[in-house]
Amino acid sequence: MDTQPTALTQRPQWAALQAHAGRIARTHLRELFAADPARGQRLSAEGAGLYLDYSKQRVDEDALRLLLELAEACGLPARTAAMFAGERINRTEDRSVLHVALRMPKGERLEVDGVDVVAQVHEVLDRMAAFAERVRGGQWTGHSGKRIRNVVSIGIGGSDLGPVMAYEALRDFSRRDMHFAFVSNVDGTDFSEAVRGLDPAETLFIVCSKTFTTLETLANAHAARAWCLDGLGGDDAAVAKHFVAVSTNADGVRDFGIDTDNMFGFWDWVGGRYSMDSAIGLSTMIAIGPENFRDMLAGFHAMDVHFRDTPFERNLPVLMALVALWNNNFLGAETVAVLPYAQYLKRFPAYLQQLTMESNGKSVTLDDRRVDYQTGPVYWGEPGTNGQHSFYQLIHQGTRLVPCDFIGFCEPLSPLHEQHDLLMANLFAQGEALAFGKTADEVRAEGVAEALVAHKTFEGNRPSSTILAQKLTPHALGALVALYEHSVFVQGVVWDIDSFDQWGVELGKVLAKQTASELGADSPPELRHDSSTNELIRRYLDQRGS
């Protein structure tokens, strides 16, 4: 591998940003706000129904100008155009990257290799809608003629995190007389707990796997089939009424025993972690109904259009990406905390972990050089206010810089409006406290004993952004997810990496397969791992019971 300096760190903007970071390190957010009374309004942008306030980030005019210039110099306009045009920008897999086509309105056209992919998308969406309506309306019945009341979605990674996140996020819009469950882990307890108490005669399984080769998903799908047939008298014909598949692999689906008439397809130009608005979202559509699903797609599309057409200095995904890059590459932050002040978004941080870290956890550039800068930071988070009573202490007074993304909604979905005010008061208070802190003099002025002053002082100067939307609707959720999708893309373009492959997950899969055959051997296997792994396996074999 070429270990010469990369193009990125040779760019004049990179050096200028490094020099500028030294100056910003000596500037407090208090000074930046004092110097510009309109900063809170100026450093904000709006699009697709979302408002982004990035004024509490440690950026000034010069930092923003240089970051925008860097994005231009890295070819962001051309790369964005290439993605929207369906060019094969996923270089290592030689694929187009067209999740934006999944939400293009009916009637628009986008040709890839002579095929209008938008027409294909809508053909599947229409089939999904017809199926979802039949299940919701009770016309699609189980093998014994009973109405479907339980939907269990089986998948993992991008074939699970999007559906479960969206189901939780949009519960307020979902059918309350149906039960939805999601099974992902190969740990059999995940499946057993999901089906505990369910009647197989009323249960529909949606097996979601882009490749239809994923070990966890196939193991759980087999367990589901056995459970279902067991409960329905063993008639294989029941599979047709209780199993549908979402995949790009029709042969795999057929081999499993699911009729491909009951399969909903998508395409290799949809990355797993960018697939929640493809047929992978079938459980979401059954839960919230086709109309709400289309509203979610419209939210995605509104953000796509905003991203494609808005000048960078007002472009939400671009601004969010560049601020994240500034924190990561120039201020030394290693992580981003995502803090939705919405309980319905409790799975959003987990969803973002795959989106951001599987996309940008790379260390080789598109021209095969080892990067000489940090790439994707660690994403994590919890809904507010719960996090405040656990890890926020470190964010406020710890030694690490933890930039935060606060997410909030103006209109409550619960009838407890006063509690919504309390929730949002906490969101606003956290951003303010992190940015401005409390000086030692302010602490003393409160009469605090000198021995405690240092402990009760808040340095402040801790960066955060706040994303506000009117209400957590399907439209808002679509726009929010697309905002992060495009922000991930922008960062990947600047880092010059392939944000759309995931080779890093392969080695573990191969070793697990080999180890599984050892664990399944009839006689004690000859272990040829390192001494640590050998010993762990030996102890496991000794203690696992029969």
Q: Please pick, among 168, 202, 358, 382, the residue that the annotation labels catalytic.
A: 358
**Cis upstream peptide for 515 (omega within 30°):** no
Please tell me the distance from the alpha carbon of residue 496 to that of residue 89, in angstroms, as a whole number.
11
Q: What is the DSSP letter of 222?
A: H
User: What value does the CA radius of gyration of the chain take, rounded to a whole number of Å?
Assistant: 25
Per-position x/- string for 158-187, each x denoting binding to ligand F6P as judged by CB under 6 A, each - no binding: xx----------------------------
Judged by beta carbon, residue 315 or residue 359, the one nearer ligand F6P is: 359
If one counts every other C-beta atom within 10 angstroms of the C-beta of residue 43, the result is 22
Q: What is the DSSP letter of 377?
A: P
Judged by beta carbon, residue 157 or residue 492, the one nearer ligand F6P is: 157
Please tell me the distance from the alpha carbon of residue 353 to that of residue 382, in angstroms, as a whole number.
12
- What is the nearest approach in angstroms of ligand F6P to the Cβ of residue 92? 13
Segment interacting with ligand F6P, rule: CB under 6 A, options 41-49, 207-215, 322-330, 530-538: 207-215
Q: Does 511 bind ligand F6P (CB under 6 A)?
A: no
Judged by beta carbon, residue 99 or residue 136, the one nearer ligand F6P is: 99
Q: Choose which of 265, 272, 299, 349 interacts with ligand F6P (CB under 6 A).
A: 272
Q: Choose which of 505, 512, 516, 519 interacts with ligand F6P (CB under 6 A).
A: 505
Q: Does 328 bind ligand F6P (CB under 6 A)?
A: no
Of 14-43, binders to ligand F6P (CB under 6 A) are none
Q: How many Cα atoms sit within 13 Å of 482 on the Cβ side?
A: 33
Judged by beta carbon, residue 430 or residue 502, the one nearer ligand F6P is: 502
Q: Which two tokens stand for residue 509?
A: 């899969």
- Number of residues engaging ligand F6P in binding (CB under 6 A): 14
Q: Which residue(s) pair with 206 in the sheet?
A: 153, 244
Q: Please pick, among 106, 417, 509, 513, the residue that the annotation labels catalytic.
A: 509
- What is the nearest approach in angstroms of ligand F6P to the Cβ of residue 159? 4
Interaxial angle between packed helices 61-73 and 474-495, expressed in degrees from 0 to 180 and rounded to the nearest 10? 70
Q: Does 211 bind ligand F6P (CB under 6 A)?
A: yes
**Can you tell me whether residue 244 is helix, strand or coil?**
strand
User: Would residue 382 show up in a list of annotated catalytic residues for this protein?
Assistant: no
Q: Does 217 bind ligand F6P (CB under 6 A)?
A: yes
Of 330-369, binders to ligand F6P (CB under 6 A) are 358
User: Would residue 389 show up in a list of annotated catalytic residues for this protein?
Assistant: yes
User: Would residue 358 show up in a list of annotated catalytic residues for this protein?
Assistant: yes
Q: Which residue(s) pair with 265 in the sheet?
A: 247
Q: Which amino acid is at 237?
A: A
Q: Does 284 bind ligand F6P (CB under 6 A)?
A: no
Q: How many Cα atoms sit within 13 Å of 380 on the Cβ side?
A: 9
Q: Which two tokens stand for residue 522?
A: 């009839």
Among 142, 140, 149, 147, smallest CA distance to 231 is for 142
User: What is the bridge-based pairing of β-strands 263-265 and 404-409?
Assistant: unpaired
Of 133-162, binders to ligand F6P (CB under 6 A) are 156-159
Q: Does 265 bind ligand F6P (CB under 6 A)?
A: no
Q: Which residues are catalytic?
A: 358, 389, 509
Contact residues for ligand F6P (CB under 6 A)? 156-159, 209-211, 214, 217, 272-273, 358, 502, 505
